[in-house]
Amino acid sequence: MAFDLVVRNGMIVDGSGLPRYRGDIGVKDGRIAEIGRLNGAAAAETINADGRVVAPGFVDVHTHMDAQIFWDPIGTSSCFHGVTSVVMGNCGFTLAPCRESEADLVFRNLERAEDISRAAMLAGIKWRWETFPQFLDVLDSLPKGINYAGYMGHCALRTYVMGQRAFTDEASEDELSAMAHQVREAMRAGAFGFSTTRSVNHMTSDDKPVASRLANWRELETMVRAMADCGAGTLEVAGAPAGIDGEKAADYFGRLTRLTVETGRPITFGLFSARTAPEAWGKALAVVDSTARQGGRMIVQVHSRALSVLLSFETHLPFDKWEVWRDMRKLPLAEQQRMLRDPEMRRRLVEVATRPYEGPKVRGTEARPPQWDFVYAFESVEGPHRSMAELARQRNTHPVELMIDMALERDMKFFMMQPIANENQADALELMKHPRTVVTFSDSGAHVSQIMDNSLQTHLLSHWVREKQAFTLEEAVKLITCDTATQFGFHDRGLLREGLAADIVVFDPDTVLPSMPEVVCDLPAGAKRLKQTCEGMHATVVNGQVLLRDNQPTGNLPGRLLRTRARH
């Protein structure tokens, strides 16, 4: 057989958790045709994987690439870290259903809650749909480097049916019926499921709850039952009561349990540890185990490290809206740099920044008033990452003074990390090791100037496998390939097996490491974002075609829209 592609002489870690072995992989027509020793086999293209690991492409089921897909065909920065398939539309935030004349309603849901620039969306999206099935057809037609699946989002659904009332009112009976009909139509067209948010962190730019937060429980239940009518789909829900104790939390998790047991549809949500509620995550996992015993299914999404806001003069600081600071922060970076060197201006800035915070409540991944013992200088990916308080004590200065000094010393290119969840890495490890969790939660496509978690998979490989040896390579690869693909129904991906889709990554296990993030202004309308590449990634193959070699795009765009098969 003449192959389209042969990956030669690599160490195959096939995603199953079984021991690695040396071999070749032959690809034909987008699928793995043969695995073995393919000596002398003809191939149109070859990848020399000698000394490298060959694994299935990584699967990330928590992204927000719904807008990004219109201007970024290869799916950065996820693609740089071996991700070949993603699910977008999480947390109730999608671009459909929506009439073009009402696009501002979905932008209102997205721009603050997910830190997606309204200007970028206006400049970068050509509106060619109204319903969710039409949206999927548009996605199908777009050039794509990686594979995409998508939830229908509750916020967009509410605004489509209810208009402005979606932000203030409960739905009428007629509106519930109309929304349920749209859900069934979306599922039959191939939607991955239905997503919603009940999180207090999800607010509009005018400090109002996003649309789905106005829905009562009966509305959510009606949408999930409509999805169940089609015999397919997952409910993804963002937000839960703080902690697990108390009547409110018991009621919330009790309702989720009954919903999955009665409808038969899986429910997925993210779970992090928190230093302010260290026992909550363990109690939440006990609910998940109890639900399984009752016949329901909950899939818990967890992260491979702390969830950290990245602070910098190039992006955001905790003081951006504070007196004196807010005027300076509106200026070009070079002008800010000049002002920071002015002794009187610096004195005023430090004086303001050392006051107690008296502003509005900070939400989600927005920069928080700093507790300097828990803000860390971020000068290398590997660390060690020392707190700004500790470094300030060594220099006998205040952390704000130190922040300014370190930024000026580095021509304003200085990052700090502000962890807001998963601060305790021992907890993060236990969360990853629980049998009902999946390692996925990059939020790729959202929070584009606030966090950089596209690299959670390569962090798992570099930190938890190579440095800490908390997982074998086989265990870690299984977590981000087969486990995630199987739990979420991508049954032809996540394993290296003959007949399955040829999504393949080739990397050096001794050098794979996320690069330091950088700030770029490459979004439509010149909007800024954080970008992060990766060292040690040799090749990324999607549906049998090489998307990246040494993390450089080849020009191929082999990605596909992955549609769920629902009952009609």
Helix, strand and coil in the chain, % to nearest 5: 35, 20, 45
Query: Span 150-166, mean pLDDT?
Result: 98
Q: Do 83 and 108 touch, CB atoms closer than 8 A?
A: no
CA-based nearest residue to 85, from 142, 15, 146: 146
| Cis preceding-peptide flag for 369 (omega within 30 of 0) | no
The mean pLDDT of 146-159, rounded to a whole number, is: 98
Q: Is the dihedral of CA 36, 41, 42, 45 positive or negative?
A: positive
Nearest to 462 by CA among 534, 533, 512: 512
Report the distance separating Cα 74 and Cα 54, nearest Å: 21
Print burial letters for 414-443: b (CB count within 10 Å at least 16), e (below 16).
bbbbbbbbbbbbebbbbbbebebbbbbbbb
> What are 457-476's pLDDT values in tens digits?
999 999 999 999 999 999 99
CA–CA distance, 374 with 371 (Å, rounded to integer): 6
Q: Say how many C-beta atoms besides its own lie within 10 A of residue 147's C-beta.
A: 24
pLDDT of residue 244: 56
Q: What pLDDT is stored for residue 246 in this prediction?
A: 74
Range 20-29 contact pairs with CB under 8 angstroms and sequence separation of 24 or more: 20/53, 20/473, 20/474, 25/54, 25/496, 25/502, 25/504, 26/1, 27/3, 27/502, 27/504, 27/541, 27/544, 28/1, 28/3, 28/4, 28/544, 29/4, 29/544
Q: What is the pLDDT of residues 52-63, one digit of tens each?
A: 999 999 999 999
The yes-or-no verdict on residue 240 having pLDDT over 70 is no
- pTM > 0.95: yes
Do 532 and 462 contact (CB within 8 A), yes or no? no
Single-letter amino acid, residue 89: G
Q: Determine the Cα–Cα distance for residues 394 and 153; give it in Å rounded to an integer.
A: 49
Q: How many beta carbons lie within 10 A of that of residue 277, not counting itself? A: 13
| Integer-rounded Cα radius of gyration of the chain | 24
Residue with the two structure tokens 């970076």: 333
pLDDT band at 511 (very low <50, low <70, confident <90, very high): very high
Mean pLDDT throughout 103-129? 94
pLDDT in the model for residue 242: 55
Among 118, 148, 145, CA closest to 135: 148
Q: Are 296 and 260 in contact (CB under 8 A)?
A: yes
At 170 the pLDDT is 97
pLDDT digits (tens, 9 = 90+) for 215-232: 999 999 999 999 999 999
